[in-house]
Amino acid sequence: MKRILVYPLLALIVFLSACQDMKNPDDVAYVLSLGVDAGEERRFSFTVQIPSQTAQAAEKEGFTLHSAEADGIFEAIDKINAALPWRLTFVHLNDIIIGESLAAGGCLKELIRLVPNSLGFRATCRIAVAKGKAGDFLAGMRGLGEINPVKHQRAWMLEPSESALFPECTYAGLAESLTSPIHTAILPLGGRLPGVGGESDGITGMLGCVLVQDGIAALEFGANETLALMLARGEFRRGWYYAEHAALLRLAKPREVRVLSREPLVLSLSVYVELTSESFLDAAKAVNAERLAAESLRGELASVFESCRAAGADAFELGKHVVTGFSTNAPWNAFNWSERIREARLDINVECERGV
């Protein structure tokens, strides 16, 4: 009889202990994006984007923004939680947007520590730089009549990265690049595109990318330069290229990198692209389209390489191929890749063929 009574009591204790930590879903606000800017009174200004909790607000933009100035993320979270009827959670965080002035000021290493993964978000969370302020950038993500901001975020950031027309950098990828001499992070650069009432009325769009060196967003590149950079890194797949005319490019086969000499340091880079036949706007130019596209791309690649080489940045990630010639870490460290890249010569070859 005693044994019969013990089992229901044990089950009741387990059930009550499990319910003790349960949270009502209505008490939680899921942060979709986090913006980080320089603060006016405190060091940082944090902006969180959460789905709209009311039907009226959802119909208008699909999300609401809430900001707080603080010296650290947890202080900002406490401030925002105190002003809301919900508690913030970061398990659905898609993007961390960093304001241009912070990114260029050398705060990226600090921000990786300042916004730790212990908040509960995935290490695959994307990182981007905003032209201007991150808070304004998030305000422009309202979409074109979309009431679901997650769909719009996919349209403005994830889909361009899937075509490799613009880069995608994750939280884990940025953290790795800050400690690795042969992995150079490039962050997508976005901004408010002008609308009917000017830039403040426009939506968020992709503009190019910034290259990270020593925790600083050191170099900025436009759309065509970004395409060339992605092609040189072996990350490009397809996208529109605008030179003398618009052409749809596809990757024909992977890039090839060869180390021709170490003393002096000479390397070669070969990239292979395909132009689709329907992309030519002027039939008269189609005859020499492959040659024109190859020359234009080669010039773009050479210009980007020179800008990065002068800054000592391995934007093309050539070090991944150079390091394979060293058997141990000691001679590789003595080679001093971050300095040798400044004197490197790169022979660039672009082969372009007509697609079907």
Mean pLDDT of the region 134-161: 66
Reported confidence tier of residue 213, pLDDT bands at 50, 70, 90? confident
Kind and range of the H or E element at 19?
helix 2-20
Give residue 216's pLDDT: 87
In a shared domain, residues 41 and 156:
yes
| Residue 285 predicted with pLDDT over 90 | no
Determine the average pLDDT of the residues in 49-65.
Answer: 68
In one-letter notation, the amino acid at residue 101 is S
Q: Are 212 and 268 contained in the same domain?
A: no
Residue 19 lies in a domain: no
Is the domain of 217 the same as that of 248?
no
311, burial (CB in 10 Å: exposed 0-12, middle 13-18, buried 19+):
middle
Measured distance CA(94)–CA(96) in Å, rounded: 7
Q: Output the pLDDT for position 286.
A: 60
The pTM score is 0.82
Co-location of 182 and 308 in the same domain: no
For residue 92, list its beta bridge partners: none
Q: Which residues contact 188 (CB under 8 A, 6 or more apart)?
A: 126, 128, 129, 157, 160, 161, 166, 167, 168, 169, 206, 209
Asked whether residue 202 falls in the same domain as residue 303, the answer is: no
Q: Which two tokens stand for residue 29?
A: 């606000």
Residue 3 placed within a domain: no
Residues 57 and 112 in one domain: yes
The CA distances from residue 216 to 36, 98, 276, in Å, are 15, 12, 38
Domain-embedded: residue 6:
no
Q: How many domains does the chain have?
A: 2
Check whether residue 151 and residue 215 sit in a common domain.
yes
Is the pLDDT assigned to residue 326 strictly greater than 50?
Answer: yes
Domain containing residue 232: CATH number:
3.30.300.210
Read off the pLDDT of each residue in 30-46 and give the average, rounded to a whole number. 94
Which of these, 237, 234, 265, 267, lies nearest to 251 by C-alpha position? 237
Q: What is the pLDDT of residue 355?
A: 73
Rounded Cα gap, residues 138 and 152, in angstroms = 12
Same domain, yes or no, for 228 and 217? Answer: no
* Whether residues 198 and 311 fall in one domain: no
At 186-212, the pLDDT tens digits run 999 988 877 655 555 567 878 899 999
Q: Is residue 233 part of a domain?
A: yes
Final residue of a structural domain among 221, 248, 267: 221
**Average pLDDT of the chain, as a whole number:** 81
Last residue in a domain, options 221, 237, 257: 221
Domain with 251, as residue range(s), is 222-356
Are 274 and 147 in the same domain? no
For residues 212 and 284, membership in a common domain is answered with no
